Structure 1
C-alpha cells in the first residue's frame, strides 16, 4: 500500500472520530487498518465496533473532499500529517492512554520528539505572572529545552515569546524553540491577535493540532487538547492559575500521564495564585527558578539527551569520559568560551553541542554566562 493510500485510511478514521482505544479492536476484527477500510458498511455494522454516529461519519460521501484538502495541505512545505504508526510520531505522546490517532503539524516535526517542558497558566495573567513565565521559558529554552504551550493569551503567549527570545545556548543568533498545541484547525489562528506569534512559531518551532482543517474554536476542544500539551512534555510548569483554570486540567493530565508538575507560588492575596498553591498542596513541586526545574528533571533529561548509542558499553571513569573524543568538557576552560569556538574545536553538530552543554551544566561541571558563553567549574 502506498503512503498516500495509508494516509487516506487514517484520515477516514480521523474524520469518523475513531480514538486510539478503538484501534486494537478494529485491527483485531478486520486484520489490519487497510482491510478495515476496504470493508463494506454492512461489515462495519455487523462488527458493532463504532457508534452509529461514527459509522455515519465513516461513510459520509463528503469525506473525499476533506481528504483531498488534507492531503494537499500536507504536501505544502513544512506541513505534515502524522499518524499514530508513523516513525516520527512523538514517543512520549504515544505512551499516554488516549493519544491522538493523527496530528497536523506546521513547522519542524522533529521537535515533537525533543525534550519539552510545558508552561501554562491564566489567560488573564498579571504583568508579574507574564514576566515570570517569559523568564522561565527564556532560560529553559536557552539550555536546550523546547517550550510547549497552547498559544492562548496571558501565560501561554509569554512562554512562547520567552522561548523565541532565547538564544538556545549559542552566540550566533539562533533562536530557542517552542511548540504550540492549538484547539482549532491549523488553517486558523485563535486568538487572532496571536497571528504573528503563530507565524514565528511555525518558523522556529511547530504548531500542532489533532483537529481537522477548518475546525473552529469550541469550548470543549480546549480541555481535550491539554492532554497533548502535557503528553508531549517531560514536565508541566503552571504559572498563575485560578482555582477553576484550564491550566489545572493540564496539570491533572500530566499527573495521570506520570509526568512531573511544577508550580510557581504567589501572593496569598492574588486569586490567580490560588490554583498554583492548590497544586503545591497536592504534591506539585514548588519552583522559584528554571534551575530548580532542571535539577528535578536531570535524570529524565540525561536519559533523553545523553542516552548512550550502545547500551552494553562498559562503564568508564570520569577521566576517560573527559578525554573521550567529542566530549565538550575537554574544550572548556576556566576562561569563557562561546558556541562558535566550541563548534570549530569539536567539529560537532550544534544540536549535539547544546545537549552536552545542558548535561555538563546539570552535572555542575560548567556554568552558563551571558551572551551564550560558558566556563568550567571543575
Structure 2
C-alpha cells in the first residue's frame, strides 16, 4: 500500500474520526496526510486535547495482515468504491474485501431476515436469491444464520455479496465457515472492521448500513419486531432506497416485523418479478452517475462567539444538525466546522440520522 493510501487508513483508524468526520476532513484539507497534520489544531479550537492518532506501524501491520489474507482495501472516493454506497453520508471510508469487487457495481438487492427463520421462509429466500441472480442481480446479505444463509446459498452461482460485522478473517456464525469462503471465492466478501476483529454487538448496525447502502432496495423475508433486519430496512428507507417485505401469518411472531413494514408503506413482495418491478429502469441512472463524496468547498473558520453559540445549543439529548443551523442562524458550513472541532476534541458525539449531542 502506498503512503497516501496508508494515510487514508491511518486517518480512519484514529480516535474520534468516524465516517462523517473523515469526509469533512478530506473536503477541508484535500488529503488524509494534510488532515492528520491539522487535527491537533482543530481539536484545540474545539476546547479539548488532540485525539490519539493511529500509530503508523500499527496501520502498516494491519495492511500487511490483510494482504497476507488475500484481501484488499478500497477507499471512498476511489473509482472502484461502490457508487451507491458512497452516496450515504456514513459510508465506510475504508472497505476490506476478498473476491470480485465489480459485483458491487451491478444492480444489487439486499435479502435479509430472521436468524431463527422458519423452514418455509428459508426456502422462499433461497428461491428469491436464485431467481434474482438468474436475472443478473447481485444479492447482498449478512452471512448470518437463517434468511441470510439461504439468500447466499440461492445466489452463489450468479453473484452474491456477503457483508460481515467482523474482520475479514473471522467467521460468524462458525457453521457458515464453508459458505463464507465460497462467497469470498465466487462472489464478494466485505468487511469494515480490521482483520482479527471479533463480531461485537455494536458492529452489526454498522454492517447493516453497508448492506442497505450497497442495494437499490432491501427485501425483508421474515423478521420479528425490533430485529436487526428492520434496522437494515429503516436505513434503506432513510437512504431513499426501496423497502420491500414478504407478508406472513399474523399468528407467527417471526412475521410481525414484515407485516408492520407493509402497513407502514413497504412494497409487498411475493415473487422475484415483484422485486424487479419495484427497482425497475427508474433506478438505472443511479448506477451510471456516481456521486463525488468529496464535494469541494472552501475552508471556513468560526469565530469564538459563533462557537459559543453552537455549544450553548447542544446538550446531552441528540439534536438534528439542521435544527442547530436553524436555531443558531449560523451558516451551515460554519456549524459543520464547529462540530468537526468539537468531535475531534471529544466533546461531541454523532448519532444515527444526522444527530449530535454534547458529551458530559
Q: TM-score, normalised by structure 2?
A: 0.75
- Partner of 1:34 in structure 2? 33
Q: Distance in 2 between matches of 1:304 and 1:30?
A: 28
Q: Deviations over 1:40-62 (max 9, x none)?
A: 7754543549x75x812x15x4x
Q: Distance in 2 between matches of 1:302 and 1:84?
A: 21
**Contact 2:12-2:22 at 8 Å conserved across structures:** no
**Contact 2:69-2:169 at 8 Å conserved across structures:** no
Deviation at 1:285, TM superposition (A): 0.5
- Partner of 2:63 in structure 1? 70
SS state at 2:236 partner: helix
1:235 to 201, 217, 228: 217
Deviation at 1:281, TM superposition (A): 0.3
Q: Distance in 2 between matches of 1:243 and 1:209?
A: 27
SS state at 1:266 partner: coil
CA separation of 1:131 and 1:205: change in aligned 2, threshold 3 A = same
- Partner of 1:338 in structure 2? none
**Contact 2:217-2:241 at 8 Å conserved across structures:** yes
2:117 to 125, 132, 141: 125
| Superposed counterparts of 1:246-257, under 5 Å | 246-257=228-239
- Partner of 2:2 in structure 1? 4
**Contact 1:107-1:207 at 8 Å conserved across structures:** yes
**Contact 2:62-2:194 at 8 Å conserved across structures:** no
Q: Distance in 2 between matches of 1:41 and 1:92?
A: 29
- Partner of 1:211 in structure 2? 193
- Partner of 2:132 in structure 1? 140
- Partner of 1:319 in structure 2? none
Q: Distance in 1 between matches of 2:100 and 2:184?
A: 8
Deviation at 1:36, TM superposition (A): 2.3
**Contact 1:29-1:47 at 8 Å conserved across structures:** no
Q: Distance in 2 between matches of 1:24 and 1:301?
A: 26
Q: Which has the larger radius of gyration?
A: 1
CA separation of 1:116 and 1:28: change in aligned 2, threshold 3 A = closer
CA separation of 1:71 and 1:112: change in aligned 2, threshold 3 A = farther
SS state at 2:250 partner: coil
- Partner of 2:266 in structure 1? 284
- Partner of 1:55 in structure 2? 51
The alignment status of 1:260 with 2:258, answered yes or no, reads no
**Contact 2:10-2:59 at 8 Å conserved across structures:** no
CA separation of 1:268 and 1:33: change in aligned 2, threshold 3 A = same
Deviation at 1:246, TM superposition (A): 0.7
Deviation at 1:90, TM superposition (A): 0.6
Deviation at 1:23, TM superposition (A): 3.0
| Superposed counterparts of 1:210-359, under 5 Å | 210-300=192-282, 302-303=284-285
Q: Distance in 1 between matches of 2:230 and 2:23?
A: 31
Q: Deviations over 1:254-279 (max 9, x none)?
A: 00000001111111111111000000
Deviation at 1:135, TM superposition (A): 0.6
Deviation at 1:296, TM superposition (A): 1.6
- Partner of 2:345 in structure 1? none
**Contact 1:115-1:304 at 8 Å conserved across structures:** no
Deviation at 1:66, TM superposition (A): 3.7
Q: Distance in 1 between matches of 2:272 and 2:200?
A: 33
Deviation at 1:20, TM superposition (A): 2.8
Q: Distance in 1 between matches of 2:94 and 2:128?
A: 31
- Residue segments in structure 1 that go unaligned for 5+ positions in a row: 165-174, 309-378
**Contact 1:180-1:206 at 8 Å conserved across structures:** yes
Q: Deviations over 1:118-150 (max 9, x none)?
A: 000000000001001001111011110010000
Q: TM-score, normalised by structure 1?
A: 0.71
- Residue segments in structure 2 that go unaligned for 5+ positions in a row: 290-360
SS state at 1:22 partner: helix
